[in-house]
Every structure is written in structure tokens, then in C-alpha cells.
Amino acid sequence: MTDRAAWQRLDADDPLRAFRERFELPDGVIYLDGNSLGALPRATPGRVAALLHEAWGRDLITSWNKHGWIDLPTRVGDKIARLIGAAPSEVAVADSTSVNLFKLLSGALDLAPGRRVVLSDRGNFPTDLYIAQGLVGLRGGGLALEVVDEARVAAAIDATTAVVMLTHVNYRSGRMHDLAALTAAAHRAGALMLWDLSHSAGAMPIDLNAAGADFAVGCGYKYLNGGPGAPAFLFIAARHQAGIRPPLSGWMGHVAPFAFDHDYRPAAGIARNLCGTPAILSLVALESGVDLMLEADLAAVRAKSRALGERFWARVTERCPGRFALASPADPAARGSQLCLSHPEGYAIVQALIARGVIPDFRAPDILRFGFAPLYTRYVDIWDAVEQLADIMATRAWDAPQFHTRAKVT
């Protein structure tokens, strides 16, 4: 156990080690799926309870003013802005990532008259592609979604490209696009750049404004630990905000929602991109997760994330030689905060791991995805997870009937 003890010392020396105690984590579980659903911050239940009893229950409708509910979408947006290199007035929290993508893609098409292509990569998260398909179908006029292999995106941007829509870190492989380089490539061709930060916000330093990015969306329930289905965020560079005509022109984006005007007139800033009444319970839980993330040094988060990934792969090659192909880039600098293995029996192997309290996730058809959330994933968790994986492979423990039964959500 000398080696495991050495990994425990890494935890003892970890500058982020105190964060783990800020989460409520189940005993006996090694959770390596924070890239799908982040863990529960200990502060969150108390904040939600206060919202329920002291705001909703006691102050009722007056809470919109008294407890600042009306400002929550921009207040939490301002906080997220600090995590992604945006200015405070450039981010709002609203709706889901999918709905926000629809808004921003539509806005980008408004700003690029005469250009007909939304360009993306074939491996982008499916909902991003679906939303783009739906939007171009709805708007008509020859608009089209075009997808190319991820390595070919830069070369495919041309004078027909209205907007390049990419996910910064690929959900399946963990491959990270070069945010600054691709933004520059889009701009050189006169196109706009939209980033989906769902798999990177909160996992690493991101600087949208340094890169000159035009638009971004992202998810609240992964590395931001906002809770299941937490509202999503949207970023629009200040220079574009006045030119956006919101396609989902709801009352919360009106310049004066409580004037009850008959005609839609968009609010001046980022707020015009709000639509309906925000889901306050979910927003308060998200704010709790974001507040915790703001205490962390994102450079330290990234450094630990890289180390966890490198050590994970090193241990897999040592303990399960030849068993798995690496489905993530070999260069750690080109990966997000996850490491993916492929194996034809990936589904059953993941189920066998879950039965032993190690929770990665599976992505069809054959990907075992291990996510590292540096605020609560320990080095020793990596050690222990790979020990379980090695035992499952050595004993073929995955080849039991119950591990082959598919669940609704995988």
C-alpha cells in the first residue's frame, strides 16, 4: 500500500483539499461523474430552505423585490461572468442550454445577413446540433447547418459562414478546442463565434473576452454544481447586445415588464435575452454552487484536473494493460476535465463499477467516461477507482446479466 499512501499524500498537499468538505458526498462512493451532474454543496439545502420558508412562504409575492428575485438572472450571471472571462453585464442566467443556444444562434444569424451557414463539428453535443437544425428549418431562407470533422472546422469557415458553433470540451472524448485560435479563425473569415462551455465552465480558466468570443452558452449543473437541470447561462459580447432581436421575446426581456405594454420592446442590455419567469428554486441552488466555485482558484483547479487525468490514464495502462483504448486526446493539454476509455463492453463495465460504488458514466456506443471535479475528486479516488476497474476486468465481473440491462438514462 505504499503507492496508495503516496497518493494520499498528494491529497494532503492539494491546495484545493478543503473544498471537499464543502460538499455533501455519500459514504463509500467514488463519484467520477461531476461532468454530468455536479455534487451537492453543503450550503445549498440551507439556502433553498431559507428561500422556501423565509421568502416564498413568509414574504410571498413581495419577495420579488424584498429578496431580489427579479435580479437573480443578472446577479448570478454577473458571478458566472467572473468564471469565464466576461464583463458583468455580458452574462445572464435563463432557461436551459438548448433554449439559450436557440436564442444566440438566432441572434448571430441576425447579425450576419447574407451568410447562410451555421458551422459545427460532427461530434458536437447532439442537442446543439438539433437546436441548430430546428432553427434553420424555422427561419428558412436557405439557412443550413453544416457539420465537419472536428479537425476540419477551421478550414471549413468561409464567406458563407454566419456563425461557428462549437462546444469547448467535447462531451464524449473530452477533447478541448483551442478557444482563442478558433475564434480568431472565425473572425478572419468574417464569421461570428459561439461557444458552448457546458463541459468547461468551472473546470478551468476561460477568457472569452481575451479571445474576442461573440457568444457563449453553458450549463449550470455540471462543474458549477447548481443541481439537476439548473438554469443555464448565456454570454453576449457587449458590442453585439444592442443588435440582438430576441426570437423568444418574453416579458422578462421587455424594457419594462410591469408596464404591461402591448408591444415588445427589448430591454437595453443582456436582460433582453430573458424570456419567461425564471425558476427561482433552481436559480437559488445554482447561485449557491457558483458562489462556492468563485472561492476556488481556477488555475489550481485546472492543474489538479490535468494531474488527475494523467494519473488516471497512467494507472489504467499499468493495471489493465491492453484492455482499453484511450478515447481522449493523448496530450493532456488538449483534454478537458475528463478521461474517456473505449471498450466494446463499456456499458456493462460501467454498470459493474457503479455496483461497486464507483460512478463514471457511459456514452453510446462504447465510451467509459471518467470526470474529475477538482473541488471534490481526490487523488486517492483515482487510485481506488482503477483498482476496482482492474479487478472487474481481471475477473470478468462485468459479464453478469444485471449489468447488461439498459436503464432509461445511461
Active site residue 42: no
Nearest alpha carbon to residue 381 among 370, 395, 367, 392 = 370
Can you list the pairs that 329-332 forms with residues at least 24 positions away whose Cβ atoms lie under 8 Å?
Answer: 329/173, 329/174, 329/175, 329/176, 332/306
- Whichever of 376 and 383 has its CB closer to a second copy, that residue is 376
In the set 222, 306, 356, 363, the catalytic residue is: 222
Can residue 277 be called a binding residue for a second copy (CB under 8 A)?
Answer: yes
Confirm or reject binding of residue 405 to a second copy (CB under 8 A). Answer: no
Active site residue 347: no
70 binding a second copy? (CB under 8 A)? yes
Q: Is 63 helix (H, G, I), strand (E, B) or coil?
A: helix
* Contact pick of 213, 285, 292, 373 for a second copy (by CB under 8 A): 285
124-163 positions binding a second copy, by CB under 8 A = 125-127, 129-131, 133-135, 137-141, 147
Residue 391: CB minimum distance to a second copy, A: 21
CB of 15 or CB of 228, closer to a second copy: 228
List the catalytic residue out of 33, 121, 196, 214: 196
Select which of 369, 376, 378, 381 is catalytic: 369
- Within residues 173-212, the interface with a second copy by CB under 8 A covers none
Peptide bond into 365 cis (omega under 30): yes
- φ, ψ at 89 (rounded to 5°): -85, 15
Determine if 351 is a binding residue for a second copy (CB under 8 A).
no
CB of 86 to a second copy, least distance (A): 21
Residue-by-residue DSSP string for 254-305: BSSGGG--SS--B-SSGGGG--S---HHHHHHHHHHHHHHHTS-HHHHHHHH
Gap between the Cα atoms of 16 and 238, Å rounded: 33
- Which DSSP string do the residues of 177-238 spell out, in sequence order? P-HHHHHHHHHHTT-EEEEE-TTTBTTB---HHHHT--EEEE-SSSTT---TTPPEEEEE-H
| Site residues (CB under 8 A) for a second copy, limited to 207-226 | 219, 221
In 56-201 the beta strands, taken as DSSP E runs, fall at: 91-94, 117-121, 144-148, 161-167, 192-196
- Bridge partners for 117 per DSSP: 144, 161
Q: Please identify which of the residues 19, 171, 215, 221 carries the catalytic annotation.
A: 221
379 given a catalytic annotation:
no
Q: How many residues bind a second copy (CB under 8 A)?
A: 97
User: CB 392 → a second copy: shortest distance, Å?
Assistant: 18
Task: Please indicate whether residue 196 is annotated as part of the active site.
Answer: yes
Looking at the DSSP bridge assignments, the partners of residue 195 are: 166, 216
> Nearest distance from residue 233's CB to a second copy, in Å?
13
Please identify, among the stretches 319-327, 357-365, 386-394, 396-404, the one whose residues bind a second copy according to the rule CB under 8 A: 357-365
Nearer Cβ to a second copy (183/337): 337
CB 234, CB 104: distance < 8 Å: yes
Can 175 be counted among the known catalytic residues? no
376-395 binders of a second copy (CB under 8 A): none
Active site residues: 125, 196, 221-222, 369
